[in-house]
Amino acid sequence: MRLDKLLGNMGYGSRKELRTLVKKGLVTVDGVVPKSSDINVDPEKQVILFNGDRVTYKPYVYLMMNKPQGVISATEDSRGQRCAVDLVGEEFSMYDLSPAGRLDIDTEGFLLLTNDGAFIHDVISPKKHVVKEYYACLEGVATEEDVKAFADGLILADGTECMEAELVIVGTDTDTNTSEVVVKICEGKFHQVKRMTLSRGLKVTYLKRMAIGGLRLGTDLEAGEYRELTLEEKESILR
Ligand code: URA
């Protein structure tokens, strides 16, 4: 890979800027200042230093974020609202991160951010059957009939057909007319969980995504925090 392309991809500067910086001797490859910025390098085998710091190149990064309420998961700021990618620190600024499946502004929990488009496709494609698990508080008392309706495949108010899904009743309270449930779906239609429960007369009052595929939201992450996934964790998502 060309040195200027590698450093450019990682946000160290434009091709023109890098030409100057390399000329100034700010970059070394295996301890040697290269003659020009367009030499070919192997970032996995060679030691590249920028201003004395090791440049470790990874083509893709995978972040698990515990998205807080009040933050949108879209990458482009809409009407001045804060985006999840704005919470990600400088060290990932060179990566063009997108969410693998959106969460509503008032939904909390597991937001997967990555620059790996093929992986995003696999995670969100209903055909790949990657289960997304949500914990929800509901207004209304969920029943075994609701469980069966979810399992059979719901039809939403506008006629949209949903794939078979799982509704697990965690608890109900007839005095307060509320329920706690877990919903497991393989799709990601607009407001899907809210619309699914509403089609059964149950209104979501709180929603949190707990897991994507085989990977659960880390209990180490407070709302707004994120961390990079290990290779094993990343692979467990599609397993
Ligand atoms: N379903 C919803 O209704 N909202 C979300 O944010 C995610 C799933």
Instruction: Give residue 186's pLDDT.
Output: 97
Using most ligand atoms within 8 A of CB, pick from 181, 192, 198 the residue to mutate for ligand 1. 192
Cβ(136) to ligand 1 under 6 A? Answer: no
Count of CB atoms situated within 10 Å of the CB of 60: 12
- Cα–ligand 1 centroid distance for 36 (angstroms): 51
* Atom from ligand 1 closest to the CA of residue 188: 8
Q: Give the position, in ligand 1's atom list, of the atom nearest the Cα of 185.
A: 8
Q: Which of 72, 194, 208 to mutate to test the pocket of ligand 1 (most atoms within 8 A of CB)?
A: 194
Ligand 1 near 194 CB (within 6 A):
yes
Give the pLDDT score at 59: 82
The rounded average pLDDT for each run of 10 residues, N- to C-terminus, in the chain (239 residues) is: 87 92 96 96 92 88 97 80 91 87 97 97 97 98 98 96 98 98 97 98 98 96 97 96
Q: In this predicted structure, what is the pLDDT of residue 77?
A: 61
- Ligand 1, from 207, 210, 212: best to mutate by most atoms within 8 Å of Cβ? 207
Give, in order, the Cα–Cα distances in Å from 81 to each of 4, 21, 48, 71, 84. 35, 37, 38, 7, 10
**What is the DSSP-derived secondary structure letter of residue 174?**
T
* Binding site membership of 193 for ligand 1 (Cβ less than 6 Å): yes
For residue 78, the model assigns a pLDDT of 63
CB atoms within 10 A of CB 196: 26
Active site residues: 104
pLDDT of residue 9: 76
Q: Spell out the residues 6+ positions from residue 65 whose beta carbon is closer than 8 angstroms to its own.
A: 84, 87, 88, 110, 111, 112, 113, 221, 224, 225, 226
pTM above 0.95, yes or no: no
